């Protein structure tokens, strides 16, 4: 179970959807230098469902960069809001792994439509447009909303070609 520090305040959205995510899904990760690759799996089957979820750390630049976020949850029934929960958990696990407390930006490149329909609606973040990318892509950023969350339910996997696509 993800435990919260007494000073942590979750949004009503996270409070209502976090237990469902944790009941149905688990998250593991592998370490590849300054980046972590995450794997979302169904607890019922123990099978991975994520396509690619990779987060990198630029300490000098004060940035957490979400390189890829394709958790694969939308392919499963009744998971409409669970990608937001997954994003929240992964960013907090990553920050705690690297001892990031505050004053860091989360940066990512996405399609404008994905920004409009997903990232701009995440109430636990303050995503806004940073710059226009190529074609229909945009760079977006948010201040990292540091909450103290126990993410000990995340399991580390050994780095291997089978698990970590970043090595391919």
Segment 100-126 mean pLDDT: 90
Q: Report percent pLDDT > 70 for the chain.
A: 90
Residue 78: DSSP 8-state: T
pLDDT in the model for residue 141:
95
Checking if the pLDDT of 4 tops 60, the result is no
Q: What pLDDT does 60 receive?
A: 83
In this predicted structure, what is the pLDDT of residue 162? 55
Look at residue 6 in the predicted model and tell me its pLDDT: 38
Instruction: Spell out the residues 6+ positions from residue 97 whose beta carbon is closer than 8 angstroms to its own.
Output: 36
DSSP state of 165: G
Q: For residue 90, which of 144, 32, 42 has the smallest C-alpha distance?
A: 144
pLDDT for res 161: 57
Domain ranges of the chain: 3-154
- What pTM value is reported for the model? 0.86
Q: pLDDT-derived band of residue 8, with 50, 70 and 90 as boundaries?
A: low
Both tokens of residue 106?
Answer: 């989360």
Least confident among 9-23, 71-85, 148-162 = 148-162
Structure confidence by residue, pLDDT tens digits, 134-166: 899 999 999 988 787 778 889 998 876 554 444
Two structure tokens written together for 27: 């998250």
Q: pLDDT value at position 108?
A: 95
Q: Distance of alpha carbon 144 from its chain centroid, rounded?
A: 12
Instruction: Give the class (CATH, top level) of 3-154.
Output: alpha beta
Name the E strands within 14-136: 25-32, 35-42, 52-58, 63-70, 105-111, 128-132
Cα–Cα distance, 8 to 116 (Å, whole number): 28
pLDDT digits (tens, 9 = 90+) for 17-35: 999 999 999 999 999 888 9
């Amino acid at each position: 179970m993800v435990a919260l520090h007494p000073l942590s305040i979750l949004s009503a959205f996270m409070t209502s959807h976090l237990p469902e995510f944790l009941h149905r899904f688990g998250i593991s990760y592998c370490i590849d230098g300054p980046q972590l690759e995450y794997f979302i799996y169904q607890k019922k089957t123990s099978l991975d469902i994520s396509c690619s979820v990779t987060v990198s750390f630029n300490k000098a630049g004060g940035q957490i960069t979400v390189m890829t976020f394709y958790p694969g949850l939308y392919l499963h029934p009744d998971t409409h809001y669970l990608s937001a929960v997954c994003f929240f958990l992964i960013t907090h696990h990553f920050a705690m792994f690297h001892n990031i407390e505050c004053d860091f930006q989360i940066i990512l490149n996405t399609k404008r439509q994905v920004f409009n329909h997903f990232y701009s609606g995440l109430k636990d973040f303050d995503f806004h447009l940073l710059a226009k990318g190529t074609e229909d892509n945009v760079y977006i950023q948010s201040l990292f909303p540091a909450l103290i969350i126990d993410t000990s339910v995340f399991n580390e996997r050994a780095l291997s070609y089978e698990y970590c696509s970043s090595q391919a």
